[in-house]
Amino acid sequence: MNLPRFPRHLLFVILLCTALVSCRPSVHRETRFSMSSTLTVLVSSQRPPDWQDLFDFADRKAWEFDHRQKDSSIGKLNREGGGKPPGEVLEVLKTAQRIAVLSDGAFDPTILALTDLWAFDGGGSLPTDEQIDSARRRVDFSKVVIDKEGTVRIPEGFGLDLGGIAKGAVVDLISGYLYERGFKDFLIDAGGDILVSGVKQGETLWRIAVRHPRESQAVLGVIPLGEKDSRIAMVTSGDYERFFESGGKRYHHILDPRSGYPAGQVASVTVIAPTCEVADALSTAAFVLGPERGLKLLEEFPDAEGLLIAEEDGNLTAWKTKGFPIEVDSLRFGQE
């Protein structure tokens, strides 16, 4: 049988295209349970990372921020009334204090007395007004002192709960882990706390869906994110994440530290920011503040953009910062 003979220049082009295709990085994916949620990591590279080592790293870092673990960094601070935590934990606590100040306490890292009272980790429990009033007297970020040497002092009866920022902080640490090992293009999703780095397969932006707050299988829109040699995060806080019902009323887990009750002005807040810990804390703060004050906080915070969704009489309304990459008119509120 006679095989066709290709001109040399055409054969060179064919070989070059084959080589380019073979050099195109693959997308390696792994999902495991971590941080009381699912942690999914996608890495665009010729080789996958050591998945076991990566998830072990994530679990170790998450443990340090877990106030429920008496020997974790936060657990020790609460148990001993202060101390000098590791640098990574100290920096997150400083960020939490900063956002607490800017949000006038809508975000408060000393909310432990209230989160313990509502017990959402155990399925939820409706406290009395008197119990809430008592717990509120032990919530006040301004009473926590961090000195120049990095020593933290917590008043007696107070406690830290970094649940509104810790997951984002761990995502940032996982990002650093991957970067240190030569991985530049990846996506990390820790139950809705998302960070993207670089681009997918050398050329494609990562596409992130904004969940519909009332239809679990629907999305409001899709945001292309990513830039070569750059990282950016997107976090959504919603009243649909953890909740319980009592007496025909629904109570969700995003508490207003100032009232002691679940915040009730919006259904979800999506924030885009340079780091996941900042996006995490800002989404909580804006959720508690509501549309007007929450939008103002996001507009004034450097390099942050946001989308707030509220529901009234079954109808959804949206507000966004000027730079948020989806127009309100394009949001898909109805059934798809």
Higher local confidence (pLDDT), 92 or 24: 92
* Predicted pLDDT at 25: 85
Stated pTM of the model: 0.91
240-269 per-position pLDDT tens digit: 989 999 999 999 999 999 999 999 999 999
Q: What average pLDDT is seen over the chain?
A: 92
Which domains are seen in the chain, by residue range? 27-330 (3.10.520.10)
Q: Bridge partners of 194?
A: 189, 234
> Cβ distance 328 to 320 under 8 Å?
yes
13-36 per-position pLDDT tens digit: 433 344 344 467 899 999 999 998
Give 73's contacts (C-beta < 8 A, 6+ positions apart).
Answer: 64, 65, 85, 86, 89
**For residue 282, pLDDT beyond 50:** yes
Strand order in the sheet with 268-273: 26-34, 37-45, 186-190, 193-198, 227-238, 268-273, 305-312, 315-320
* Predicted pLDDT at 6: 46
With bands split at pLDDT 50, 70 and 90, how would you rate the model's confidence at 2? low
299-315 per-position pLDDT tens digit: 999 999 999 999 988 89
> Cβ distance 332 to 219 under 8 Å?
yes
